[in-house]
């Protein structure tokens, strides 16, 4: 089972433009989850990001902040790839990222050495089995 189907199962996907597709598109576009996390940190979302990684409730980022952090070109690329409007893509990303990053960091911190795509696939497989 691949990363897309595991994300889809975890996050209730099924239709075009679902959360799993959005997250997969972002991870690929930024060259991995670690690069995506670095981009979010350097773009002013450190406070929200730390709540997604840490234990406890996730702070929302909002579609506008996500678009500002990732860039309108990135959001437009995701929207085009998924066949949805850029505003809808930004909203989906704002909902998806906290959930996925939270689930990839169950110990409340990033694993030492980062998270590879293989690690993401393995983590999602374990999470789906529980």
Q: What pLDDT is stored for residue 28 in this prediction?
A: 79
Query: Residue ranges of the domains in the chain?
Result: 3-125
Domain 3-125, classified CATH 1.10.10.690, yes or no: yes
The answer, as to whether pTM is greater than 0.75, is no
Q: How far apart are CA 125 and CA 130, in angstroms?
A: 9
pLDDT at 15 over 60: no
Q: What pLDDT is stored for residue 27 in this prediction?
A: 80
Q: How far apart are CA 112 and CA 84, in angstroms?
A: 36
How far, in Å, are 43, 49, 66, 87, 104 from residue 19 at the CA level? 22, 18, 15, 14, 15
């Amino acid at each position: 089972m691949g990363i897309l189907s595991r994300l889809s199962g975890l996050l209730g996907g099924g239709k075009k433009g679902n959360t799993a597709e959005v997250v997969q598109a972002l991870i690929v576009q930024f060259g991995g989850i670690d690069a995506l996390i670095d981009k979010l940190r350097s773009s002013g979302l450190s406070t929200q990001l730390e709540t997604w990684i840490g234990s406890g409730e996730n702070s929302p980022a909002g579609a506008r902040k996500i678009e500002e952090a990732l860039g309108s070109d990135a959001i437009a690329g995701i929207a085009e790839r998924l066949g949805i409007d850029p505003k809808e893509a930004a909203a989906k990303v704002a909902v998806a990222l906290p959930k996925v990053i939270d689930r990839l960091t169950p110990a409340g911190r990033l694993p030492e050495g980062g998270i590879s795509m293989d690690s993401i696939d393995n983590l999602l497989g374990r999470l789906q089995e529980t």
